[in-house]
Structure 1
């Protein structure tokens, strides 16, 4: 204990002594002591780090070059760094250990290039999702993500946490829309992968490795995405009724020629199971597919409601809000064929869940802080080749449970990748699976 305290005091002294050097590397007001940070920032960081290892400061570079110089300094001084954007998902994942400084990309927020004709865009990682989507919408295009906290989430944070959302049905995961990136390595050097056009790259697929890596392999600085035309018409159907009929409707839709952009199974605390189906295309196609959806619902004796315009917007806002009402938020996965039985299993708990029907991935909110209930749900998922990862939970609960719940055989390869990309474990130490 005495040795640990001595090391901690030595590290804190080192950070304080080097603060003037940090200030010389970044633009005006680019270094904020942790004690002077806003209450929101302090709370976000406290939920992401071990209580005994709060960072000394938050650094806000304005360019990739400044970020690179900060990481070169951190590498020389063996500082541990917690990368983030606006911090909205810092509380996801494990606790970062022994962090000396938080490195935010919030001020790297420029739109670099929007090739309207090629349906691609290149942005800095600190740009907010809402800001980019607004700019794209003006050009009749959109980025097909439906992330948590869309108003504050940055593009870098969305990629680092692989937070796709309901549009996964039609457009795939984050990696499927990412066509290029730049990042700063743990030694401060800038690296690139992919480009501004859709193509394959040889060697390591760095875009796959960095997507969902929680800032443990590098700090994202610039991202290129493929885009889609904004749909002329949109309509959402909500089917509800007997779980077996919902399951049959889901199977039918997955095998049909219909092309929903969203196909989600949704359960509420009142044990109501719904199938949310969204069609987005030209008006004629949307109308025809909605008619076929109503016919399917009638054949299976399911209630069906259709939402358009402001009513549809309100429905989707309600679906997002239901996952932001406190409790414990988890990322879950299960074999798609077991999704409806899992929803029935959940009926015994105070729970709300969404599962994307094609992939079996989704989110679960438990209105409890009982670790036994969390473990019971996790055990059920694992028994059906699924998983449960804690995202949002009280610190005390995260300290009692295995946050990631990973039981696969890829832990050693992941550790070797961490060793290759960050041999001194400076980036987000301890946040990832297995304490990586």
Structure 2
């Protein structure tokens, strides 16, 4: 039965009580409300604001284990069916799209015009553009193309009271006033619900190549030196991603620390850069190259590493967790080696990779819950010793009660708190989902 006080708010087919009891990732809701339009979102939030109801927001569900200290809100607002392309201006290389559209759906559509969204977020057939933007998600190729913050040029936002605002615009050259988009990108849906996104596109590359460098002795110093060498060169890699042995074995069949160096350009330009890499290989380093479709398929498999919100095992011994570690880019080899060393101490299995160009590492953990908790705390401490940070991007709800997902409050927390209070004074939206329990 739909709650009586909700009758008539949306069509009955879009409202249903939740039958979930205790979802392992939490972030659910007692009443599911499916939005099919911006007006639907506005009505639900206006109602929630009026009657002091808490609202959790979901779409593809791939970020369900990312933050959140409340197991069930009063309302679970689903944007999964609020999808589709609003406008594709191929000549201007811009796209306006609804938040429930998956990254794969966007890729398939704009690809017909020889274009793409330069985001390589994981699980693209499940991850929606709204969730990617709300979490400021990205992949290995952010080295050249940037993250969501760099690509979004306009949004429409539904505030907690149901009012709608527009930030930015629909053209790339838009420099008037403050860039309000960045306020909402990465805020985990705590400041407003994104109802429309305008994003910059790029042409599809003419050619793609992937150089794989295998370091059989796992020499951290040699990896670091070669990474500095290529970053200081005239080469323009799309990624310089370091894989730990377990990821490398899964992706290449070789159980060694491996650098995945990607190039995208005209065929001759890609081949010239790959030849340069081959000519400057460090001693005892093996090298293989994938081209065109082989390279694309490799990255497609790479984007399916780690938890996705649906593949958590019921077996407690295979509990999954994921960490995003930010550090100095040249500390990535040390971070990955430390992650592997600590995995032996705390008896967990670890798959890890990190961008030696951009400094973001991803650590995927499996093991018993109590071991995972100790492991996260130890690895976070090591990252912080190097002036880095560690955020849990996937963690079961019961473990989020034991581990501070975001780490300690930053020095500017009062500013974040003030922004939240201004945008959502009652704290209804994704309550306690963000830094410091915002």
TM-score, normalization: structure 2?
A: 0.88
How far apart, in 1, do the equivalents of 2:426 and 2:233 lie? 51
Give the RMSD, CA atoms, in angstroms.
2.1
Shift of 1:303: 1.1
CA contact (8 A) 2:324 2:391 kept: yes
How far apart, in 2, do the equivalents of 1:278 and 1:406 lie? 35
How far apart, in 2, do the equivalents of 1:152 and 1:139 lie? 23
Shift of 1:321: 3.4
Question: What is the match of residue 21 of structure 1?
Answer: 8
Residue 429 (str. 1) matches residue 421 (str. 2): no
How far apart, in 2, do the equivalents of 1:223 and 1:45 lie? 30
3-state secondary structure, aligned to 2:57 = strand
Question: What is the match of residue 259 of structure 1?
Answer: 236
Shift of 1:98: 6.0
Residue 30 (str. 1) matches residue 33 (str. 2): no
3-state secondary structure, aligned to 2:210 = strand
How far apart, in 1, do the equivalents of 2:175 and 2:49 lie? 29
Question: What is the match of residue 118 of structure 2?
Answer: 144
Aligned positions of 1:32-431 closer than 5 A: 32-35=16-19, 42=20, 47-49=25-27, 55-96=29-70, 99-241=73-215, 242-269=219-246, 272-297=256-281, 299-324=282-307, 327-348=320-341, 349=343, 350-368=349-367, 369=369, 370=371, 371-431=373-433
* Pair 228,293 (structure 1): closer, same or farther in 2 beyond 3 Å: same
How far apart, in 2, do the equivalents of 1:286 and 1:43 lie? 53
CA offset digits 1:80-102 (Å, max 9, x no partner): 11122222212211223661101
CA contact (8 A) 2:114 2:203 kept: yes
CA offset digits 1:288-307 (Å, max 9, x no partner): 1111111122x443211101
CA offset digits 1:384-419 (Å, max 9, x no partner): 011111122233322111111134212111100100
* Pair 46,201 (structure 1): closer, same or farther in 2 beyond 3 Å: farther
CA offset digits 1:267-323 (Å, max 9, x no partner): 1338731111001111111111111111122x4432111012443234224423332
How far apart, in 1, do the equivalents of 2:24 and 2:375 lie? 25
Shift of 1:233: 0.6
CA contact (8 A) 2:68 2:430 kept: no
How far apart, in 2, do the equivalents of 1:107 and 1:30 lie? 10
Question: What is the match of residue 9 of structure 1?
Answer: none
CA contact (8 A) 2:330 2:357 kept: no
CA contact (8 A) 1:216 1:418 kept: yes
TM-score, normalization: structure 1?
A: 0.89
How far apart, in 2, do the equivalents of 1:210 and 1:43 lie? 31
How far apart, in 1, do the equivalents of 2:21 and 2:95 lie? 33
CA contact (8 A) 2:68 2:432 kept: yes
How far apart, in 2, do the equivalents of 1:210 and 1:256 lie? 36
CA contact (8 A) 1:267 1:273 kept: yes
Of Structure 1 and Structure 2, the greater helix share is in: 1
* Pair 44,30 (structure 1): closer, same or farther in 2 beyond 3 Å: farther
3-state secondary structure, aligned to 2:167 = strand
Matched length: 409
CA contact (8 A) 2:390 2:406 kept: yes
How far apart, in 2, do the equivalents of 1:281 and 1:414 lie? 40
How far apart, in 1, do the equivalents of 2:21 and 2:242 lie? 33
Shift of 1:244: 2.1
Q: Which has the higher contact order (CA 8 A, sep 6+)?
A: 2
CA offset digits 1:11-62 (Å, max 9, x no partner): xx9x82312132xxx3451112102xxxxxx48965233xxxx622111121
3-state secondary structure, aligned to 1:132 = helix
CA offset digits 1:174-210 (Å, max 9, x no partner): 1110000001000000011011101345555321111
Shift of 1:255: 1.1
How far apart, in 2, do the equivalents of 1:262 and 1:84 lie? 30
How far apart, in 2, do the equivalents of 1:287 and 1:44 lie? 53
* Pair 329,217 (structure 1): closer, same or farther in 2 beyond 3 Å: same
CA contact (8 A) 1:141 1:228 kept: yes
CA contact (8 A) 1:120 1:196 kept: yes
* Pair 237,57 (structure 1): closer, same or farther in 2 beyond 3 Å: same
